[in-house]
């Protein structure tokens, strides 16, 4: 129980810190399966211990379940040290899952009746949707299981009533999985569309904290300014673009709603581009952000608008990017007044 508590505490701390990390936008799949290794490595031996103490099962599988738990925990620590095994973590986990599922099937259909074995099989089947990343693999797995149940029914491996009960349970679990999958399709499509717009359009979208540190930047920063995403995170954006007017938290002391101005930013190739910003207070946002848009071709004034969050560091919508001379800033200001 102590190990279980420590695992939860460590994972929660990582999740909380993850929201403030500037190196990744989302947690990767490999890390998700590492967490599976950790929690299943603790849960399986823990459950087996309780089952043995209370004599719920006639035949003890303590050696098997303890071995599985130790293997999972060892893999959890090794995959954190070895990049090669980290990249192969998914096939490793799938192999262990299928082997354990087959072992559970054996205990149900080829051993004496044990209620705990049926419960274990149902739980293992329920987890299949979350383990198989490819929906086609999931359908192949569930189809194989239902086919086996049909064969078991014809050959009377277990009592017919128990077989029918398992079949009904698995079908109900599949209904839950299908409902979840269908409900997530629209959400995933919206996310993919947003991701395409953010990373492949003419907009440069950034988010900052109250200090002005950039915590997220769209991949379009490379096309607009020439910098890689990793280069502009933190204070990198302000340092690389040589924005002399950036003042950090002091910005909030002089905030003026609906204020527009032009700033010059340095590109990676040494050129300078001018953007026009307009400050606006966004009370609902918990984090500031920039949106920079290239609306006109080079060497012409841009018509960008920049929104900035007064409380959390601000969002900008800026347009791109003009020539090298300082006079371009004045031209951009005049054009902005005409458009307004």
pLDDT score of 14 = 53
3-state secondary structure of 217: strand
pLDDT digits (tens, 9 = 90+) for 274-299: 766 656 555 544 445 444 544 333 43
pLDDT score of 312 = 41
Q: Which of 4-8, 67-71, 123-127, 241-245 has the lowest mean pLDDT?
A: 4-8
pLDDT score of 68 = 96
Highest mean pLDDT among 77-86, 182-191, 258-267 belongs to 77-86
Fold held by 202-339: Beta-Lactamase (3.30.450)
**Residues 6+ positions from 293 with CB-CB distance below 8 Å:** 202, 203, 204, 302, 304, 317, 318, 319, 320
pLDDT score of 283 = 52
Average pLDDT over residues 180-205: 74
Q: Which of 75-84, 109-118, 207-216 has the lowest mean pLDDT?
A: 207-216
pLDDT score of 18 = 39
Mean pLDDT of the chain: 76
Average pLDDT over residues 5-21: 51
Highest mean pLDDT among 48-57, 216-225, 320-329 belongs to 48-57
Residue 316 pLDDT more than 70?
A: no
Helix axes 135-155, 160-200, angle to 10 degrees: 170
Task: Return the number of other C-beta atoms located less than 10 Å from residue 306's C-beta.
Answer: 25
CB 248 within 8 A of CB 211: yes
Categorize the per-residue pLDDT at 273 as very low, low, confident or very high, splitting at 50, 70 and 90. confident
Phi, psi of 134 (to 5 degrees): -95, 125
Residue 197 pLDDT more than 50?
A: yes
pLDDT digits (tens, 9 = 90+) for 42-68: 999 999 999 999 999 988 899 999 999
pLDDT score of 265 = 83
**How many Cα neighbours within 13 Å face the side chain of 191?**
6
Break the chain into its structural domains and give their ranges: 2-197, 202-339
């Amino acid at each position: 129980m102590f190990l279980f508590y420590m695992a939860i505490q460590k994972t929660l701390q990582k999740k909380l810190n993850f929201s403030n990390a500037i190196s990744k936008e989302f947690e990767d799949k490999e890390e998700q399966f590492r967490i599976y290794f950790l929690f299943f490595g603790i849960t399986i031996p823990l459950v087996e211990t309780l089952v043995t103490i209370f004599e719920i099962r006639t035949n003890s599988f303590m050696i098997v379940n303890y071995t599985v738990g130790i293997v999972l925990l060892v893999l959890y620590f090794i995959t954190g040290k070895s990049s090669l095994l980290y990249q192969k973590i998914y096939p490793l986990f799938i192999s262990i899952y299928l082997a354990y599922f087959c072992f559970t099937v054996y205990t149900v259909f080829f051993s004496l009746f044990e209620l705990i074995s049926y419960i274990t099989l149902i739980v293992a089947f329920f987890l299949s949707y979350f383990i198989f990343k490819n929906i086609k693999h999931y359908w192949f797995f569930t189809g194989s299981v239902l086919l086996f149940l049909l064969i078991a029914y014809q050959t009377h491996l277990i009592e017919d009533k128990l077989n029918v009960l398992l079949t009904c349970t698995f079908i109900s679990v599949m209904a839950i999985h299908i409902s979840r999958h269908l409900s997530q399709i629209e959400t995933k499509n919206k996310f993919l569309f947003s991701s395409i717009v953010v990373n492949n359009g003419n907009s440069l979208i950034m988010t900052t904290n109250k200090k002005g540190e950039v915590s997220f930047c769209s991949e379009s920063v490379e096309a607009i300014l020439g910098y890689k995403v990793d280069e502009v995170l933190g204070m990198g954006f302000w340092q690389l673009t040589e924005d002399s007017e950036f003042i950090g938290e002091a910005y909030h002391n002089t905030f003026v709603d609906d204020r527009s101005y032009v700033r010059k930013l340095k590109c990676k190739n040494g050129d300078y581009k001018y953007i026009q910003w307009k400050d606006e207070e966004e009370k609902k946002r918990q984090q500031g952000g920039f949106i920079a848009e290239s609306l006109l071709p080079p060497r012409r004034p841009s018509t960008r608008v920049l929104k900035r969050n007064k409380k959390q560091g601000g969002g900008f919508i800026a347009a791109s990017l003009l020539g090298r001379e300082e006079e371009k800033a004045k031209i951009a200001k005049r054009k902005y007044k005409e458009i307004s």
